[in-house]
Amino acid sequence: MTAGAFRTSVLLLLAAVLLVVGPLSPALSSASFTAQTSNTGNRIGAAADWTPPTVAVQQPAGTLRDTTTVTALASDAETGIRSVVLSFQAVGATTWTTLCTATASPYTCSWSTRSVADGAYDLRAVATDNAGYVTTSAPVRATVGNTVTVVLAEPGDVVRGSISLATTLQNAGTAAYAVSVEYAPAGSTNANSWKTACTSTVAPYTCSWNTASVANGFYDLRATATANGVTTLSNVVTELLVDNAAPTAVMTDPGSPLRGTVTLAATASDADSGVARVVIQLAPNGTSSWQDACILTAPPYSCRYSTTSLAAGAYVFRAVATDAAGNTAMSAATAARTVDNSVASVAMEDPGAFLGGTATLTATANATAGIASIAIQVAPNGTTSWTTVCTPTASPFSCAWNSRSVADGLYDFRAVLTDATGATTTSAVVSARRVDNRAVRGVDVQTANGGATAGRLEAGDTMTFTYSTQMSPASIATGWNGAATAVTLRLRDGNLLSLGAAGDTVDVLRSNAAVNLGSVNLRGDYIKNNKTSTFNATMTATTVTVNGLPVTVVQITVGTLASGGALRTAPTTAAAAMVWTPSASATDLGGIASSNAPVTETGTLDREY
């Protein structure tokens, strides 16, 4: 190729490059490209700004409410900041909402947070410099809370004296609040019943209420928080019992002289919060060196106490009662009573009010001459026909007794000590303890119509369950003592029986849980197919005498319809015997579980209810 052709080719190539690149690359000069071998006199120009700006959102302080300022910090050392766009989005969302575009420092926006729901939000800033470079900040988390929540803490179930009441404000912002805690008689519906207990104007909003300024009884509490003329109410703490009255306590005189194991007893009562515990104490006569003999938390407030650990001498006794609120009362001390274990003493321990199966019989004894043996004896109640059960010779003086060796009934127990010299001492008698080894089972179930329509389940009707022996009410329903208690009677449609009669069933619930009575198949059609109805009801347990022996009867009295419907009136031709399947979770007073063998209703066939 000739030199002229080479120059022509280079020029054409340069023109093409300038045509394509030149408008987009102002830093390149056509002077940089020539046909000469040496071009040291030309320079390639550097761009004015190759570095993106820096930008960050300042973390807002605390919970945001009303109108707040959002600030970003942005800088660019070369060409400066052209604009900063501040935006937000709810946490977990995918769309950013612009708050504002700031073009001069400080880069701030006003955000009216009441335009969004309370909750968590992310904030970010996008900065653009004058060279056109863009940087997006890392998001920062902020919480919006324009709804003030007032929460009054529960001070406890029972209170006395001055108590601290604490109120918490959530989403309170920076407004100045005046908090007032108010009280009213429990269950009051009159708005004018609320009175101020105490106030606070500084967080944490805690104030003191002197409960002695009100009568003993149940109260409801609430808190109010007021700012800028707007008052917000708290939750209501219901049925707080105020009890500033001391209980009463009376020590029972234990008698004199005292030997061996004795019974110490006291009576106590409290009309408001109830007695929480009774401590029976003793001290040498003429001193204040009181020591606890026993601590009792339930009536009867009595215990068995061994005096053998005490030095012989005169002692006084007293009882200290404390109620559930913490008020205390001290009984008067007894007269001086002599403790003397220098002679033989023996006591029969109470084996329990109800005995069945194998029972443990125990005696305590002391003799300065030494104990040769203890005879534990039993006799039919009120007789002197004593039979020796066992003769233990070493402590503990106890033995197992098969109560099935005697007929069911009431029995007395005693212990006879024989010391090393052959002298005997007889204990006081523990009398009228019942031996009952009858099988624990259901005996009968009956219904009675107490409503307007025979053969239809309705208010006033009753259902009665009879057991073979005395049952523990607490095993039928937790904490129950047999007194009338609210329950729910549930009637459910059942499957058809082989005899052709509908097998609608009844069971009993308490606090939405089944009581341990079991279920009853009515063997009649009292509710439509696949339907269930519930009735408010009352459950009561009583003791009656059958064949000379006490048994437990549980009666369910039906009240108003609580839910459902679709009830039927059983036809007069549908007479059948109900079948009760008792629960094996129910036990007698000795703790023996009931059989769950089905029990068929006795008597003439009839429609139930």
DSSP 442-510: EEEEEEE--SSSTTS--TT-EEEEEESS-B-HHHHSTT--SS-EEEEEEEE--PBPTTS-B--EEEEEE
Q: Quick count: other Cβ atoms within 10 Å of Cβ 394?
A: 8
pLDDT given at position 47:
53
- Contact between 579 and 600 (Cβ < 8 Å): yes
Distance CA 162, CA 198 (A): 11
Q: Are 179 and 205 contacting, i.e. CB atoms less than 8 angstroms apart?
A: yes
Collapsing DSSP states into helix, strand and coil, what is residue 294?
strand
Query: Residue length, the chain?
Result: 609
Terminus-to-terminus CA distance in the chain, angstroms? 126
* Amino acid, res. 75: S
Low-confidence stretches of the chain (pLDDT < 70) are: 1-48, 495-502, 574
Amino acid at 129: D
CB-neighbour burial class of residue 65 (10 A; exposed 0-12, middle 13-18, buried 19+): buried
pTM of the model: 0.53
H or E stretch covering 12: helix 3-21
Q: Which two tokens stand for residue 321?
A: 């009662």
For the CA atoms of 368, 373, 376, 382, the dihedral, rounded to the nearest 10 degrees, stands at -60
φ and ψ at residue 195, rounded to 5 degrees: -130, 155
- φ, ψ at 10 (rounded to 5°): -65, -45
Contact 410, 355 (CB under 8 A): no
Residue 303: what are its φ and ψ, rounded to 5°? -150, 160
Name residue, tokens 């419907």.
565
Whether the bond into 300 is cis, omega within 30 of 0: yes
Type of residue numbered 386 = W
Identify the pLDDT of residue 189. Answer: 87
- The rounded distance, in Å, linking the Cα atoms of 356 and 341 is 35
- CA–CA separation, 319 vs 385, rounded Å? 39
Phi, psi of 220 (to 5 degrees): -105, 145
Q: Which tokens is 356 given?
A: 């069945």
What domains are defined for the chain?
54-144 (2.60.40.10), 149-242 (2.60.40.10), 248-335 (2.60.40.10), 345-435 (2.60.40.10), 442-600 (no CATH)
The 10 Å Cβ neighbour count of residue 92 is 8
pLDDT of residue 44: 45
Q: Report the distance separating Cα 350 and Cα 360, nearest Å.
A: 10
Token code pair at residue 316 = 């006084």
